[in-house]
Amino acid sequence: MAELTLHELSTRMANLDFAMLATHSSDRAMTARPMSNNSDVDYAGDSYFFAYDDSRKVADIRRQPEVCLSYTGAAGMLGGSPLFVAVDGHAELIDDAAQFEAHWTKDLDRYFPEGIDTPGVVMIKIHAHRIRYWDGSDEGELQA
């Protein structure tokens, strides 16, 4: 088992746009929903997503900011085998439109019609603490 660096793992994650974001619900159960990086997948230990401030996922993060992301796809490490990545991290809510610009893509206008000025939009920044990966023939863990 060869341990990858964060840069090597990021290169292999380049096509994994969608993740499942797991949070702790109000009844302390785990709940997950799909989130898109909107092609902002140059992974360096932080992930960025956008949501409405009044959404359930944002309420969950306010109550308990420790979250989990899971990625999977055919961007595997060897010969196209599936790649699975699990990220344990800490979520931060950012409501500064100036900071949105670095991670905003035109595709987001579909969900937020006034762009970064859409009322109630918030950016979710998830900083990884631990990253686990598997590709069928290799697995490893990184501390971020």
Tens-place pLDDT, residues 57-105? 999 999 999 999 999 987 544 456 788 999 999 999 999 999 999 999 8
Domain boundaries, the chain: 6-143
pLDDT of residue 27: 92
Task: Extract the tokens encoding 123.
Answer: 């950016």
Mean pLDDT on 21-34: 94
pLDDT of residue 80: 64
Cβ proximity of 105 and 40 under 8 Å: yes
Please list the helix, strand and coil fractions of the chain in percent, rounded to the nearest 5, in that order.
20, 40, 35
pLDDT of residue 67: 98
Q: Tokens 């793992």 correspond to what residue? A: 9
- Short-list 88, 97, 113, 108, CA closest to 39: 108
pLDDT of residue 39: 65
Out of 2.30.110.10, 3.40.50.150, 1.10.10.10, 3.60.15.10, which CATH number does the structure's domain 6-143 have? 2.30.110.10
Distance CA 58, CA 37 (A): 16
> How much is the pTM?
0.89
